[in-house]
Amino acid sequence: MNSFAPTPVTSSVASSWPFQKVLIANRGEIAVRIIRACRDLGLTSIAVYSDADRSALHVRMADEAYHIGPSQASQSYLHIPKIIEVAKYAGAEAIHPGYGFLSENADFVDACTAAGLIFVGPSAEAQRAMGEKTAARRTAQAAGVPIVPGAMTDEGDDTAFAQTAEQLGYPVLLKAAAGGGGKGIRFVRDPKDLLSSLRTARSEARSAFGDGRVYMEKAVSPARHIEVQFIADTHGNVVHLGERECSIQRRHQKLIE
């Protein structure tokens, strides 16, 4: 049996969706999962790929696939005009961002809306409030939610970072402001490692998200990673998914939830 075979879907179920053709603005494991979900729901999937991903599994699995540029993410998976151009050319009605890349970029949501495409994810307003990590900290503070001590400084202000680290006390965490998926994070235990870790975090953040801004938090160690996740729709319905124990990680990415 073909392990990629779709689950049969009645035409009435498929036609109940506000769109029938979805472009997946991502690659790898998450793109494969979205393609499988599209098959289960009777939707047409459109993959995009860079030079490095021509033979990737998500390209072979999708109903359609389009080249979007060089291997560098900044010129392919992070290139908003190109992704919108391909979506319109392919006749997509919706774009699913997956995680990482443009998934938490409010400007991308605005670009989708302007192009008449449905963005499968939070609104631009929600993205601006919670997608960028320092904005999320401010939103939490305004709501009275306790947050870990930390600070945002200008991207190139190394002196301010060093001073902030001394005030917070080591160890500290460096985090990409526009980050996600564990990228752009560095755990710093010793002051002598701060500047090199800062350069690495900025470079990784710029490559992965097109934004090299990094902020700092006091590292909580030892600690457990507990989440409560929510799903909400455009009609105001909100459902929580209970607690999740996410402490088993590798390179700041969860292995088990």
The domain limits of the chain are: 11-130, 132-218, 224-257
- The amino acid occupying position 221 is S
Whole-number pLDDT of residue 156 = 67
Least Cα distance to 51 among 15, 77, 88, 25 occurs for: 77
The pLDDT value given to residue 182:
79
Beta bridge pairs of residue 23: 46, 95
pLDDT given at position 14: 55
d(CA 211, CA 201) in angstroms, rounded, equals: 11
pLDDT at 253: 79
Please, what is the angle between helix 106-114 and helix 80-90, to 10°? 30
pLDDT of residue 155: 58
Which residues of the chain, if any, have pLDDT below 50?
1-12
Give the count of beta carbons closer than 10 Å to the beta carbon of residue 143: 7
Per-residue pLDDT, 256: 85
What are the pLDDT digits (tens) for 116-134? 999 999 999 999 998 888 8
| Model pLDDT, residue 178 | 83
CATH of the structural domain 132-218, one choice from 3.30.1490.20, 2.30.130.60, 3.40.50.2300, 3.30.70.660: 3.30.1490.20
Tell me the one-letter amino acid at 79: H
CB 13 within 8 A of CB 75: no
Domain at 11-130: CATH architecture: 3-Layer(aba) Sandwich (3.40)
pTM of the complete model = 0.78
